[in-house]
């Protein structure tokens, strides 16, 4: 019945919108995926960290052999020199969860200096606000033109608020998707 379908589609849409606006959606990331916290993961940790967007309250899950390895949270200079003797926090239970308490940079190394020098170290940048990734539109193709020299010294224009429109775009997209899925399921 059309009435029932409309109600169901509306409910699904509202659930999706609620999920999008929720601030409490912390995610867990398993460091190194199925490889875990090792010297040579199949995807190196820098690459792995760069393709993820970490937020406050998200957690990192380190999996490694208890008694053999460890995770040490350190300052930048100790990260650079692989010095685990000045830890901010040390975890060695083989199955360690670290929650980001605030935004900023977090530095993790193994307690084994040789393994650290061989790449078992991780920097994570935690974002300040929970927004969908900005939508990068292709720049318009402008014909080449002379730039007046005064323009070169002018301050950059204020950035437009793309993130807000990006969020609306994602929401509308998901609502349309929900409507489509609903109409297929409940027909």
Task: Give the count of residues interacting with ligand NAG (CB under 6 A).
Answer: 5
- Least CB distance from residue 106 to ligand NAG, whole Å? 15
As a whole number of angstroms, the distance between CA 17 and CA 7 comes to 15
- For ligand NAG, the closer CB: 129 or 184: 129
DSSP state of 119: T
Q: Is 127 in the site for ligand NAG (CB under 6 A)?
A: no
Site residues for ligand NAG, 46-65, by CB under 6 A, read: 56-57
Beta strands in 77-158 (DSSP E): 89-91, 95-99, 104-109, 121-127
Q: Among 83, 160, 77, which Cα is nearest to 117's?
A: 83
Site residues for ligand NAG, 64-123, by CB under 6 A, read: none
| 133 Ramachandran zone, left/alpha/beta (phi>0; psi -120 to 50) | beta
Contact residues for ligand NAG, defined by CB under 6 A: 23-24, 56-57, 130
């Amino acid at each position: 019945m059309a009435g029932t379908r409309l109600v169901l589609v509306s409910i699904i849409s509202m659930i999706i919108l609620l999920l999008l606006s929720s601030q409490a959606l912390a995610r867990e990331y398993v460091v190194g995926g199925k490889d875990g916290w090792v010297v040579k993961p199949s995807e190196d940790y820098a690459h792995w960290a760069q393709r993820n967007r970490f937020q406050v309250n998200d957690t990192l899950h380190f999996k490694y052999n208890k008694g053999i390895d460890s995770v040490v949270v350190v300052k930048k200079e100790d990260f650079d020199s692989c010095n685990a003797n000045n830890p901010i926090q040390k975890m060695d239970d083989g199955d360690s969860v670290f929650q980001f308490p605030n935004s900023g940079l977090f530095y993790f190394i193994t307690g084994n200096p040789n393994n650290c020098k061989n790449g078992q170290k991780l920097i994570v940048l935690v974002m300040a606000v929970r927004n969908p990734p900005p939508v990068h539109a292709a720049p318009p193709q402008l014909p080449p033109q002379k730039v007046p020299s005064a323009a070169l010294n002018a301050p950059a224009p204020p950035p437009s608020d793309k993130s807000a429109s990006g969020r609306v775009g994602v929401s509308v997209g998901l609502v349309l998707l929900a409507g489509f899925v609903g109409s297929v399921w409940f027909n």
